């Protein structure tokens, strides 16, 4: 793959769109990866929402509508659990983590297909709301069919956003993760402006989002940059998403640039971005999707050249058959830990649909 040649870049983008379209299930779900042992057969709201955003930017309206209908059906399926979570929080007896909504779903919306997973994660429920609103704004889509599912999701997030839970990487459920807060806040803010909620709920979504932003800027930042979790001084590459595409931290806020620079100083090597400094998963390689998030943040800061360099790096991770992996081992943080994951789950997830979607999304951003 030589992304410097426009024809190969075009081929990769086309392959990304058709791959995502062809793997979308009849139910509308986006599988995380068609082949990787631990992801096969599951859809995450986090991956799915960002995949939908990439496909929406690329103009695949029907695919994205089908995905959001799937999300809405899944949320409705868990209505009783959401009501219990909301009631429990109001009564001061919050549900145990194991009874909160899962992070990955089988394509029929089922909980876990029998496997244990690091399930209690809140970010994806914010991210789907954010992506739905972005899609509506981009294509003038009618969001009223989603009103009840949006309302349920808002109630769930408003009641529970302060709870520690697993992060984007399904780790550290004892912490309050700043990226998770950003996704939840961005989702609530998006829901408040969709025009599908009753006035009281829309106002509550907006004020809760504002409270979360204050909380993030007060407790989730040190030395002028956002941090991985409340109380940590480290960064996590997922933080760049809060600047773009989520826009939860405005690009002209001083914390935005300082966060991007801190992530780059700690986690970027030659355009490839690591998740966090202590990562050992598959040896702690570089994730093309994170280079794309860094690129989107760079573009939001007005640095299109920096953004284009990240895109080129991400594109250059494609295999000969134009598949994008979850991570590459060009620069490993913990090389001695790579083999144990290969033994456990097989080779790195390839293709990973989220990687394909982020390349699409950043390429579209740079076209504008």
Question: Would you please indicate which residues are annotated as catalytic (active-site) residues?
Answer: 167, 170, 326
Beta carbons of 274 and 286 less than 8 angstroms apart: yes
Among 30, 39, 67, 276, binds ligand BGC (CB under 6 A): 39
Q: Interacting stretch for ligand BGC, rule CB under 6 A, among 166-174, 198-206, 263-271, 327-335? A: 166-174
Residue with tokens 């899962």: 102
Distance (Å, rounded) from C-alpha 118 to C-alpha 120? Answer: 6
Q: Which 3 state secondary structure label does DSSP give 145?
A: helix
Closest CB to ligand BGC among residues 170, 264? 170
117 binds ligand BGC per the rule CB under 6 A: no
Closest CB to ligand BGC among residues 44, 130? 44
* Minimum distance of ligand BGC from residue 103's CB (angstroms): 7
Distance (Å, rounded) from C-alpha 71 to C-alpha 74? Answer: 5
Beta carbons of 294 and 240 less than 8 angstroms apart: yes
* Minimum distance of ligand BGC from residue 167's CB (angstroms): 8
Closest CB to ligand BGC among residues 32, 132? 32
Q: Interacting stretch for ligand BGC, rule CB under 6 A, among 43-51, 181-189, 201-209, 335-343? A: 43-51
Closest CB to ligand BGC among residues 9, 166? 166
Beta carbons of 80 and 152 less than 8 angstroms apart: no
Interface map 47-86 toward ligand BGC (x if CB under 6 A) = x---------------------------------------
292 binds ligand BGC per the rule CB under 6 A: no
46 binds ligand BGC per the rule CB under 6 A: yes
Among 169, 215, 341, 345, binds ligand BGC (CB under 6 A): 169
Tally of CA atoms within 13 A in the half-sphere of 304 that contains its CB: 6
Beta carbons of 270 and 331 less than 8 angstroms apart: yes
Closest residue by Cα to residue 366 from 276, 279, 300, 272: 300
**Total of residues contacting ligand BGC (CB under 6 A):** 9
282 binds ligand BGC per the rule CB under 6 A: no
* Minimum distance of ligand BGC from residue 333's CB (angstroms): 15
Which DSSP string do the residues of 291-349 spell out, in sequence order? HHHHHHHHHHTT-HHHHHHHHHHHHTT--TT-PPPS-B-SS-S-GGGHHHHHHHH-SPP
293 binds ligand BGC per the rule CB under 6 A: no
32 binds ligand BGC per the rule CB under 6 A: yes
Closest residue by Cα to residue 306 from 263, 275, 276: 263
Beta carbons of 276 and 285 less than 8 angstroms apart: no
276 binds ligand BGC per the rule CB under 6 A: no
According to DSSP, the residues that pair with 328 across neighbouring strands are: 286
Closest CB to ligand BGC among residues 204, 289? 289
Distance (Å, rounded) from C-alpha 195 to C-alpha 225? Answer: 33
105 binds ligand BGC per the rule CB under 6 A: no
For 53, 242, 288, 362, the CA distances from 59, given in Å and listed in that order, are: 10, 23, 22, 14
Closest CB to ligand BGC among residues 10, 40? 40
Parallel, antiparallel or unpaired: strands 221-222 and 225-226: antiparallel
**Number of residues that make up the chain:** 368
Among 12, 17, 44, 205, binds ligand BGC (CB under 6 A): 44
What six digits make up the tokens of 177? 């993760």
166 binds ligand BGC per the rule CB under 6 A: no
345 binds ligand BGC per the rule CB under 6 A: no
> Residue with CB nearest ligand BGC?
32
Q: Interacting stretch for ligand BGC, rule CB under 6 A, among 106-114, 165-173, 184-192, 338-346? A: 165-173
Q: Which residues bind ligand BGC (CB under 6 A)?
A: 32, 39, 44, 46-47, 168-170, 354
């Amino acid at each position: 793959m030589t992304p410097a040649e426009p024809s190969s870049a075009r081929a990769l983008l086309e392959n990304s769109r058709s791959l995502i379209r062809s793997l979308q299930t009849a139910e509308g779900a986006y599988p995380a990866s068609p082949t990787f042992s631990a992801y096969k057969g599951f859809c995450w709201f986090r991956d799915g929402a960002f995949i939908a955003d990439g496909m929406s930017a690329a103009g695949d309206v029907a695919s994205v509508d089908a995905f959001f209908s799937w999300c809405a059906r899944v949320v409705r399926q868990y209505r009783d659990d959401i009501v219990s979570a909301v009631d429990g929080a109001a009564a001061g007896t919050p549900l145990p983590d194991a009874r909160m909504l899962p992070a990955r779903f089988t394509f029929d919306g089922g909980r876990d297909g029998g496997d244990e997973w690091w399930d209690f994660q809140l970010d994806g429920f914010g991210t789907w709301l954010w992506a739905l609103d972005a899609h509506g704004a981009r294509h003038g889509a009618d969001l009223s069919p989603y009103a009840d599912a949006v309302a349920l999701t808002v109630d769930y997030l408003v009641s529970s956003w302060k709870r520690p839970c697993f992060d984007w990487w399904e780790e550290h459920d004892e912490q309050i993760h700043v990226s998770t807060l950003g996704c939840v806040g961005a989702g609530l803010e998006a829901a408040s402006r969709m025009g599908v909620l009753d006035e009281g709920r829309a106002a509550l979504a907006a004020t809760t989002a504002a409270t979360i932003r204050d909380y993030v800027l007060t407790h989730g930042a040190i030395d002028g940059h956002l941090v991985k979790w409340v109380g940590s001084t480290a960064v996590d590459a997922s933080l760049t998403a809060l600047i773009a595409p989520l826009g939860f931290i405005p690009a002209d806020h001083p914390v935005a640039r300082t966060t991007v620079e801190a992530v780059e100083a700690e986690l970027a090597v030659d355009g490839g971005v690591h998740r966090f400094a202590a990562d050992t998963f598959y040896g702690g390689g570089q994730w093309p999707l994170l280079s794309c998030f860094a690129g989107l943040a760079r573009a939001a800061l007005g640095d299109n050249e920096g953004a284009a360099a990240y895109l080129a790096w991400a594109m250059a991770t494609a295999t000969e058959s134009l598949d994008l992996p979850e991570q590459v081992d060009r620069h490993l943080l913990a090389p001695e830990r790579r083999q144990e994951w290969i033994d456990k789950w097989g080779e790195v997830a390839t293709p990973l649909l989220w990687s394909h979607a982020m390349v699409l999304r950043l390429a579209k951003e740079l076209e504008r």
